[in-house]
Amino acid sequence: MSKMALSEKLTSYTVLLAVGILLGAPFLYMISIALASDATTVQSAFTFLPGEWVWENFIKVFTNNNLGLYLKNSLIITSWTIVGSVFSASFVAYGFARLKAPGSGVLFLVLLSTMMIPGEITMIPQFILFRKLGWVNTFYPLIVPSFFAGAFNVFLIRQFVMAIPRSLDEAAKIDGMGHLGIYSKIILPMTYPILAAIAIFSFSWNWGNFMGPLIYINDSAKMPLALGVQLISTVSGGQMPPWNIVMVASLFLTIPMILIYLIGQRFVYEANISGGSSAIK
Amino acid sequence: MRNKEGAWFYFFISPWLAGFALLTLGPILFSIYMSFTDWDLFQTPHFIGFDNYQQLLTEDPIFWKSVFNTFYYALIAVPLGMAISLWIAYYLNKKLKGITFFRVLFYLPSVVPVVASSLLFIHLFAPSAGLINKTLQVFGIIGPAWLLDANWVKPALIIMSLWGVGGGIVLLLAGMKGIPAEFYEAAAIDGASSKQAFFRITFPMLTPVIFFNLVTGIIGALQTFAQVFIVTEGGPDNASQMIVPYLFQNAFRFYKMGYASSIAWVLFIIILALTLVVFRSSALWVHYEEGKNA
């Protein structure tokens, strides 16, 4: 590209800076509230930039508000959903990518069409089913569905597997490997970039998921962080919620997402660009 | 041999097949059935025909209000967000020092969990003490009461959604990278300004990405839940009530499972219809490269 004119540079930086301030300001306000004292909180006298530095809030949220427990619950739930969605989807994707059977084409179309069904339709019957199983106030309704292979994930991995040359499968077959061996020893290791991407998607979705826990978990000891934070913000009896503590908890909810994005963007990016080419090597 | 492969196929897809039967197909059928009953989760359901749908469509002003609010929100927030993300992407695509910093910064709000951003925006929109009205005050403007004002609560939710515009920018930037440099070189030789190049080359070449963002964005916005549930609880006076929070309220607060199921099916029809309209309109404005016509 040719060299940019000074005026063009100037406008560009002005626009970027202005947008940066608008999009960055809520983050600063969040931190400012998180560091405010209880006195400031009661008066809602928050400032844009942190005026006080009450770091005790970050300890109080653990001692007074169960944050440790919420974090632990979130970690358990998200870990299991990642394991479940990655393994079940890759297993199913191998079937759709490599094996043919009467009805396999139709079933793939059925799989694709399930992506069009909004979750609101299946939500109520699923609640009734899980309630019958006695799973209300347990992690099961939040974890178990991920072990049944999400359609979108299956589709992504299948596209990836299709790009892996079948000659590798054939060679393994000659060496006496069965389908389970080919899946676990040949295909699974080669699909690692797309599996990492799916793990990241799965983390993002489940870490922040609010509606699921809201439906199934009433017991505060079982709540994941996303619901726990909201619980802290709803105080009964006309009292003011401890907003400084709420924002500390919100930061704990947000920071892992930012870290995962910073670490994970490389994987997601690689998964996109290397879709088939690197798998051939 | 053939049969054996078939058996293996069903073995491998069995997790999905079981999930499809138990968590998708079964629930769909059950949901259709429930929508024709008065089931309240505790008593035996009675078959009541189309009563739920009739009540919903003809005797429930709150439902219509929530449909209107949902459309208002989706049809303004999504196109507006896309216009802004396109505008920002134009600048983020320039080769400038520190551009990576801006790319990361602009994307960050879109990874914030909706619970955290909802709780934060309660404060940003606070009538007198909130950051937004305090900032407006600096410019001599007395801001509205936002979340407490029936006229301003929907714009407030739209503004909140705009904080996440960065989410759509990634695909736009990737699309911009895919436009061959020769196009711009040829345009420059013909004396096109950078603005002309943007509207004659960049924008038409990006329409497939914009189309994708529009479809997924509208579908997502029609299903808005947490923002409304946490920030406004549908108020004031149902001015921000939307379809999914209303469905949730009926199902899990009033246990009107039959009625809530009928709301779910009306929502499904709305999503389907709106998606079809957008798809139909795409022939008019989405540009596909020759030979790639989809």
pLDDT at residue A269, as a whole number = 62
- pLDDT at B85 exceeding the cut of 90: yes
A4:B95 CB<8 A: yes
- Note the CATH architecture for domain A61-280: Orthogonal Bundle (1.10)
- The encoded tokens of residue B276 equal 């079809």
* Residues B222-263: tens digit of each pLDDT: 999 999 999 999 989 999 999 999 999 999 999 999 999 999
* Residues A51-97: tens digit of each pLDDT: 889 899 999 889 888 899 999 999 999 999 999 999 999 999 999 99
pLDDT at residue A272, as a whole number = 52
A124:B260 CB<8 A: yes
Domain(s) of CATH 1.10.3720.10: residues in chain A:
61-280
- C-alpha to C-alpha distance for B270 and A180, rounded to whole angstroms: 44
Does residue A170 sit in helix, strand or coil? helix
Does residue B37 sit in helix, strand or coil? strand
CA-based torsion, A118, B265, B71, B275: positive or negative: positive
B123:A33 CB<8 A: yes
CB A148 within 8 A of CB A87: no
CB A265 within 8 A of CB A74: no
Does residue A223 sit in helix, strand or coil? coil
Give chain B's mean pLDDT.
92
- pLDDT at B212 exceeding the cut of 90: no
CB A182 within 8 A of CB A172: yes
**Cα–Cα–Cα angle for B98, B101, B103, rounded to 5 degrees:** 110
- Helix A243-273 crosses helix A6-34 at what angle (to 10 degrees)? 140
Does residue B47 sit in helix, strand or coil? strand
- pLDDT at B86 exceeding the cut of 50: yes
Q: Length of chain A in residues, anyone?
A: 281
pLDDT at residue B78, as a whole number = 95
Q: Does A212 touch chain B (CB under 8 A)?
A: no
- C-alpha to C-alpha distance for B125 and B117, rounded to whole angstroms: 12
Identify the CA nearest to B114 among candidates A71, A223, A143, A227: A227
Q: Does A168 touch chain B (CB under 8 A)?
A: no
pLDDT at residue B289, as a whole number = 67
Distance from CA of A156 to the nearest CA of B (A): 14
* Residues A6-43: tens digit of each pLDDT: 888 999 999 999 999 999 999 999 999 999 988 888 88
Which secondary structure element, helix H or strand E, spans residue A211, and what is its range? helix A211-216
Chain centroid to CA B85: 15
A111:B22 CB<8 A: no
pLDDT band for B193, please (50, 70, 90 cuts). Answer: confident
Radius of gyration of chain B (CA): 24
Q: Which of A87, A124, A142 is the best residue to mutate to test the B interface, defined by the most B CB atoms within 10 Å of its own CB? A: A124
Domains in chain B, ordered, with CATH?
1-25 (no CATH), 60-285 (1.10.3720.10)
Highest mean pLDDT among B17-26, B128-137, B276-285 belongs to B17-26
pLDDT at residue B213, as a whole number = 87
Which secondary structure element, helix H or strand E, spans residue B265, and what is its range? helix B257-285
ipTM, two decimals: 0.89
Q: Residues 18..57 of B with a Cβ closer than 8 Å to A: which?
A: 18-20, 22-24, 26-28, 30-31, 34, 41
pLDDT at residue A48, as a whole number = 86
Q: What's the pTM? A: 0.91
* Residues A193-227: tens digit of each pLDDT: 899 989 999 999 999 999 999 999 999 999 999 99
pLDDT at residue A114, as a whole number = 93
pLDDT band for A3, please (50, 70, 90 cuts). Answer: low
- pLDDT at A273 exceeding the cut of 90: no
pLDDT at residue A16, as a whole number = 96
Start-end of H helices in B20-60: 26-34, 51-58
CB A76 within 8 A of CB A59: no
Residues of chain A contacting B96 with CB distance shorter than 8 Å:
4, 9, 12-13, 16
A211:B248 CB<8 A: yes
Phi-psi group of A120: left, alpha or beta (phi > 0 → left; psi -120 to 50 → alpha; rest → beta): alpha
CA-based torsion, B203, B208, B209, B212: positive or negative: positive
* Residues A224-253: tens digit of each pLDDT: 999 999 999 987 666 788 999 999 999 999
* Residues A129-182: tens digit of each pLDDT: 999 999 999 999 999 999 999 999 999 999 999 999 999 999 999 999 999 999
Q: Does A211 touch chain B (CB under 8 A)?
A: yes
- pLDDT at B218 exceeding the cut of 70: yes
